[in-house]
Structure 1
Amino acid sequence: MPEPLWGGSPSKLLAFLDCPRRYRMTYLDRPAPEKRRPRAHTSLGIAVHNALRDYWDLPAPDPVAGGRLVEKAWIDVGFRDGEQSRRWKARMRDAVTAYLEAHPPQARPVGIERTASFVSGDLRVQGRIDRLDDRGGELVVVDYKTSRVPSTDDDARTSMPMALYAAAVWKMFRRPVRRVELHHVPSGTVAAHEHTPESLGRHVERARSIMRDARRADADHARHGAASELFPPVTGPLCSWCDLRAHCPEGRAAAPEKSDWAALGDD
């Protein structure tokens, strides 16, 4: 009998690659261990993404009104205090306004938070694209970023999720999709890469390789549960940010926990 499909998002694949233990606790252990409360940069990112999503529901394109949507979508969780939250809300309102003024879309996107999926062998990938543009007949995959450091063209080139989204859209629309873009909203910069069919194929094969390892680990977890030895922790600086570090002694020993607002940097 053929192997059943192994399904998941690019985030699920990267979770297994980055730290099998975190993958196990997130996707396999039931009941799932409790996560820590969201950090400030997560609240900020969700608010900006929601504002840019709702921008397309406005009666007419208006960057200033788009910026005000940040205030409506703001999530006051994870900040040091109310003053810091208010300061960052105003900062991101202005950043979204400036971004929309600098990069006015030529037409309504083909997709806004569009779900895309494809099947390759026994791998089924499904995820959600922030924005899908049609530019002169060419489809372009757009992802919004709100991190402290702007994205680079190399980030766009090496991003497996972006490549998998491009491959999914190519199959769904039956139209070539080569360009992927990372839009860093705070700085207004755009990092881009033009894929080839060969480069997309390499990313798909990488995803299939990760999937094969994850499938073996999943099967071992079904037999042994949390006692399975196929989910070792991968410790390092990222342990400071892990939402599940309370359940991982090795992670707590590897790096001190960061404050809820540490990723905002110097404000």
Structure 2
Amino acid sequence: MTSADHSAALSPSRIGTFRNCPLQFRFQVIDKLPAKESPVRRRGTLVHSVLENLFDLPAKERRFESADQKIYEIWEDTIDENPELYAELFKGDKSEENQFLESCRELLANYFLMENPDRLNPAHREKYLRVTNKDHLRLHGYIDRVDISPTGLVRIVDYKTGKAPAERYIGPYQFQIRFYALIWYLTQGDLPARLQLLFLKDRQVYTYTPTIADIDATNAEILAVWEQISSQARSGDFPPRRSPLCNWCDYRAHCPLLGANPPEISEEGVQKLLSTQVN
């Protein structure tokens, strides 16, 4: 499966979107309706890019000052490559841009209170993995960071730029990190010793030790979700689901819950999606 085939694979974010709202999943994955740029989404991209690049520096130079400088360098390159992005995000308001960049600085300052990057030597950053599981489902995902100890123990790390959820809402985040453990296990033949989520907004760390039972349970969970997705794809019926997230949805203009008429479903997109499961 090449990068062009990403639409025929399941990822944690796609599964999360389907669970939140099947119609949003349809618009995003099948119909490929364009999503709006937002400061929140762009902030996550920028902070992740800075943290990825941080480990290119010699250990002694991995300080907040270096990350702070890198924020502006990456942002300037982003705007140079995509000039219309500035107007789309900030409507030409320089103060909004300044607030955006300051929020990025705060998240990165928090990161340096959570870890000492000069003591880390990641084996992988933004590691892309793709695999077909035992149920013949194509799976893929990007892992923010993989640390491997001198004794070979593996730690998978994922950065989150939002706040840590209350314990009763940790489920989707736990599923995501277990999904990464699964694709690592299937591609590398090695069960990670530790899974870690770093919530930069409030400096909270979630740590989980996976087991082989977790791998089996995650496979079963993915298959159960896929059976729902494929059934709805064949029927063409992806019902909307109302939730507080509706206020931030990119597809409000197409949602029947808001009085809109959705476009016809893309049959080509349906067939592409169904090829997620290999015969």
Match of 2:242 in 1: 235
Query: Helix, strand or coil: the match of 1:182?
Result: strand
CA distance in 2, matches of 1:14, 1:245: 18
- C-alpha distance 47-159 of structure 1, shift in aligned 2 (>3 A): same
Indicate whether 1:93 and 2:100 are aligned: no
**What is residue 205 of structure 2 aligned with on the other side?**
190
In structure 1, distance between residues paired with 2:250 and 2:137 = 27
State the alpha-carbon separation in 2 of the partners of residues 251 and 200 from structure 1: 40
Local SS of the residue matching 2:140 = strand
Q: Deviation at 1:83?
A: 1.4
Kept after mapping to 2: 8 A contact 1:8/1:125: yes
Q: Find 2:20's aligned residue among 8, 18, 21.
A: 18
Matched, 1:161 2:173: no
Distance 1:197 1:157 in 2: 19
For the residue of structure 2 that corresponds to 1:159, the secondary structure is helix
Describe the SS at the equivalent of 1:168: helix
Amino acid across the alignment from 2:242 = T
Identity %: 25
**Per-residue CA distance 1:64-98 (angstroms, 9 max, x = gap):** 20232122233655348321321341342243144
1:57 aligns with 2:72: no
Counterpart contact for 1:39–1:79, Cα < 8 Å? no
Distance 1:252 1:139, change over 3 A: farther
1:34–1:17 Cα change, 3 Å: same
Within 2, Cα distance between the matches of 1:98 and 1:7?
A: 34
User: 1:42-191 residue pairs with structure 2 within 5 A?
Assistant: 42-60=41-59, 61-63=61-63, 64-74=65-75, 76=86, 78-79=89-90, 81-100=93-112, 102-105=114-117, 106-118=119-131, 119-135=133-149, 136-147=151-162, 149-151=163-165, 155=170, 159-191=174-206
- Name the aligned partner's letter for residue 86 of structure 1: N
By how many angstroms is 1:158 displaced? 5.5
Q: Which runs of 5+ in 2 are unaligned?
A: 1-7, 79-85, 261-279
- The CA deviation at 1:52 is 0.7
Normalising by structure 2, report the TM-score: 0.75
Rounded Cα–Cα distance in structure 1 between residues aligned with 2:221 and 2:210:
15
Question: Contact 1:239/1:251 (CA < 8 Å) preserved in 2?
Answer: no
Structure 1: how far apart are the matches of 2:190 and 2:183? Answer: 10
CA distance 1:109–1:234, change in 2 (3 Å)? same
Query: Partners of 1:162 and 1:252 in 2: how far apart?
Result: 37
Unaligned runs of 5+ in 1: 1-5, 221-227, 254-267
Aligned-residue CA RMSD (Å): 2.5
Q: Partner of 2:37: helix, strand, or coil? A: coil
Q: Deviations over 1:128-185 (max 9, x none)?
A: 11111113421111111111x2356772786212101101112222222142111122
CA contact (8 A) 2:16 2:172 kept: no
Q: Which has the higher helix share?
A: 2
**Residues 15-70 of structure 1 deviation map (CA, whole Å, 9 limit, x = unaligned):** 222211111111212xx3333x2121111111101111111222444222023212
